[in-house]
Structure 1
Amino acid sequence: MDTARTHQKVPVGDQDRRACLGPYGAVAHVTRCLKMISGRWKLAILFRLYSDEMLRSRQLLRDIPDVSQKMLTQHLRELEADGLIQRTDFGEMPPRVEYRLTDRGEALMPVLLAARQFAEDHEKATK
């Protein structure tokens, strides 16, 4: 590892180790982020909302193969609770509800796009 990246090593002292491994350390923050996006359909929802500014649940059902209404609703609620998407209910009959990324959801997308690029590069490198 070159000297410019030594700050990324896990600290060895007990006091320093908490900065990485403690309850408020890097590992805890990344784990919290991964929990927000874990779920079979959450990434698909986030990427669809990233490509289209706003979508209704019926559009998401059509665009994401094999997702059930129940699972879509569950994942949408979890993403909303985590502050990654915003749900707008227009209070109309028939019901009209739209979903869009929040600012926090938008801020997460470069990380997900970088993960996608890493996966593509890794796949090419291992072939």
Structure 2
Amino acid sequence: MMDETSTHFYVPITQEQREICLGPEGSAWHVARVIKMIQSRWKLPILFRLYADPSIRTLQLKRDLPGVSQKMLTAHLRELASDGLIERIDFGEKPLRVEYQMSEMGRQLLPVLIAARRFSTSHSPKADESSEEI
């Protein structure tokens, strides 16, 4: 049997190799799962805003993301929390006081997003003119 960590470097030939790479728990499935977690107009801006601040209230997020509706912001915050990328902290106070912060899993995603940005900037039409570094 092939080492499972190396299966993403080649095209799988045998049925067993296909299952490791393309099966229900294969490399392609896991990458697609991460993409689904961050795929939407507002999830990445929310995540990058939360990387900048250790904790932030919903109203401040709404101010910092011009154009986002309260409904979309709430829905995306719930999805990000459900996926484990952020944490919702309810202080149990009246009036309601809720803050959001990055979870450990969300902090582990940051290097992946930085790598995706580097890939994008180095493969853009303007990459030949200047390559921007984070």
* Structure 1, unaligned runs of 5 or more: none
Q: 1:126 to 1:14 in 2, by over 3 A?
A: farther
Q: CA deviation at 1:57?
A: 0.5
Q: 3-state SS of the aligned residue for 2:21?
A: helix
1:46 matched to 2:47? The reply is: yes
TM-score (norm 1): 0.90
Q: CA RMSD in A?
A: 1.7
Q: Which runs of 4 or more aligned residues in structure 1 lie more than 6 Å from their structure 2 counterparts after TM superposition?
A: none
1:58 matched to 2:34? The reply is: no
Q: 3-state SS of the aligned residue for 1:10?
A: coil
Counterpart CA distance in 1 for 2:56 and 2:21 is 38
Counterpart CA distance in 2 for 1:83 and 1:7 is 25
Q: CA deviation at 1:125?
A: 3.0
Which AA in structure 1 matches 2:96?
A: P
The C-alpha deviation readout for 1:38-68, integer Å capped at 9, x for no partner, is 1110000000000111111111101111000
Q: 3-state SS of the aligned residue for 1:95?
A: coil
Identical pairs, percent: 58
Q: CA deviation at 1:6?
A: 8.7
Counterpart CA distance in 2 for 1:93 and 1:105 is 29
Which AA in structure 1 matches 2:30?
A: H
- Kindly tell me the number of residue pairs found equivalent between the two proteins: 123
Which AA in structure 2 matches 1:50?
A: Y
Q: CA deviation at 1:10?
A: 1.9
TM-score (norm 2): 0.86
Counterpart CA distance in 1 for 2:102 and 2:88 is 9
**Which position in structure 1 is the counterpart of 2:18?**
17
**Which position in structure 2 is the counterpart of 1:105?**
106
Counterpart CA distance in 2 for 1:7 and 1:79 is 27
Counterpart CA distance in 2 for 1:6 and 1:27 is 10
Q: 1:6 to 1:28 in 2, by over 3 A?
A: closer
Q: CA deviation at 1:7?
A: 5.9
Structure with larger RCO (C-alpha < 8 A, sep 6+) = 1
